Amino acid sequence: MKLRLFVIGRGASGLADFEARFIRRIRAYAEVDVIELPEGRGRQAEQRRQEEARHILRRAGKGFVLFDEKGQALDSRQWSVFLGRLPGNASLDFVIGGADGVSGEVRQTAAHEWSLSLLTLPHQLARVLVLEQIYRAFTIQQGHPYHRA
């Protein structure tokens, strides 16, 4: 399985080690890459969303999962079931938009829209959270003791 996490903007240096730890752990189960896309530079939020949309839609494959506060809330077991239903040779992209959100075009193109929390999270923290939950999903499938709930 090949997983890609597309994120607008750069990661936080303070979270880089934590992020790298989960990337290493996920690689026992699947290929995984984090791809940073440039932030929009427009003066207005809509201009930035449109610019970021071009980058996202140019790179993310069909059927991607978009993380958005208005999306469906899934628990860790539901993530595990979702990933477990994919064939072993599947490719799946995850997208974390920019600070201004995403354009309607990105939202319409996404196959799934998931919420990470009712809280507003910094993008750097959201990307670590996504990686941790992907790892957790695989460990649930394997009956690994990492997931103790």
pLDDT tens digits along 81-93: 999 999 989 999 9
Collapsing DSSP to helix, strand or coil, 139 comes out as helix
Please check the confidence at residue 42 and state whether its pLDDT lies above 80: yes
pLDDT the model gives residue 149: 64
CB count in 10 Å sphere of residue 34 = 19
Provide the H-helix boundaries in 60-114: 76-84, 104-109
Q: What letter represents residue 30's amino acid?
A: A
Rounded Cα distance, 135 and 142, in Å: 11
Provide the H-helix boundaries in 68-122: 76-84, 104-109
Collapsing DSSP to helix, strand or coil, 72 comes out as strand
- Mean of the per-residue pLDDT values of the chain: 94
Rounded Cα distance, 37 and 67, in Å: 15
The domain defined by 2-142 carries CATH number 3.40.1280.10: yes
Q: What letter represents residue 27's amino acid?
A: R
Please check the confidence at residue 104 and state whether its pLDDT lies above 80: yes
| Widest Cα–Cα separation across the chain | 49
For the chain, what are the domain ranges? 2-142
Give the confidence band of 53 by pLDDT, cuts at 50, 70, 90: very high
- Residue whose pair of structure tokens reads 């997931």 in the numeric block: 147
